[in-house]
Amino acid sequence: MKMFSNVLTGLILVILITGTAFAHFGVIMPSEDIVEQKDSKKITLKIYFMHPFEQEWLNMEKPKIFGVMFNEEKTDLLNTLINKKVKGKNTWETQFTIKRPGDYIFYLEPQPYWEPAEDKFIAHYPKVVVQALGKEEGWDKEVGLPIEIVPLTRPYGIWAGNVFQGVVKLNGKPLAFADVEVEYFNEGGKVKVPKEPYITQIIKTDANGVFTYAIPRAGWWGFAALQEASYKIRKDGKEYPVEIGGIIWIKAREMK
């Protein structure tokens, strides 16, 4: 009986250790990141909480906040969200019609996600920029999220091989030496890795909160700046830490 208990404990530890290897990402993915005059002005936005490289979806409750910032004005889009199932998991979707030229920043605040494998809650604040109708203005503006990546490189019109830079801000101030996880949205599981560390790239911000990453492949890339929150969340009579993440998604294309 004691041997069985030890084996069971070992298996649980393996499961927990394996679970921590996968990075979590909040995702806002538009059907187009650049909308030109010849294109349809209606775009679809899909919202996930997932492991993007492994293409594993997690249940996502309806966000607390979902909106768009245009010309520094924010519009609430929460009530436009429709629940969708992907591989049996809750995801969200909406459509948005572009009406004026400029940069549209879509963003959200999630419901905290309980991660039992790590004994903590996770609250990621993703955003994505859609450029419309030839006017490139607004992409470097701050939404004002608790933790946020503000791009220093224009976050669209990016070639595979380009360098992308951003500054991580916590409560509006640059966050020095913070971890930034980088993952490829590996649609269809086409990219195979030789070893697990290739799944999630890890970089750090410098003393000014700035990070730099060279994009090796075309497709969608997520950047997640992580920090433990100053508050905890109570569950079953116990307080647990909260991982907050500022996330931005960008799309790179091959030069043909």
Is pLDDT above 90 for 203?
A: yes
Whether 3 maps to a domain, the answer reads no
Tokens of 163: 């360098």
| DSSP H/E element including 231 | strand 219-235
- The domain that holds 51 is classified in CATH as 2.60.40.10
Give the rounded distance of the alpha carbon of 109 from its chain centre.
11
Tokens of 91: 């995801």
Continuous H helices in the chain: 2-19
Whether 16 maps to a domain, the answer reads no
Whether 117 maps to a domain, the answer reads yes
Q: Please state the domain count of the chain.
A: 1
Range of the domain at 185: 23-253
Is pLDDT above 70 for 4?
A: no
Question: What per-residue string of b and e applies to 123-154 under the rule 16 or more CB within 10 Å gives b?
Answer: bbbbbbbbbbeeeeebbbbebebbbbbbbebb
Measuring CA to CA, how many Å separate 33 from each of 79, 86, 135, 253?
A: 22, 22, 13, 11
What pLDDT, on a 0 to 100 scale, did the predictor assign at position 170?
Answer: 97
Whether 18 maps to a domain, the answer reads no
> pLDDT tens, 221-249?
999 999 999 999 999 999 999 999 999 99
Give the rounded distance of the alpha carbon of 101 from its chain centre.
25
Whether 11 maps to a domain, the answer reads no
Whether 209 maps to a domain, the answer reads yes
Mean pLDDT of the chain: 92
Q: Would the pTM of this model clear 0.95, i.e. be above it?
A: no
| DSSP H/E element including 225 | strand 219-235
In residues, how long is the chain? 256
Torsion sign over Cα 184, 17, 205, 120: positive
Tokens of 133: 């109708």
Whether 6 maps to a domain, the answer reads no
Is pLDDT above 90 for 5?
A: no
CA torsion, ordered 78, 81, 85, 91, to nearest 10 deg: -30
| DSSP H/E element including 208 | none
The residue to which tokens 């293409």 are assigned: 55
Whether 38 maps to a domain, the answer reads yes
Is pLDDT above 60 for 12?
A: no
Side chain identity at residue 248, one-letter code:
I
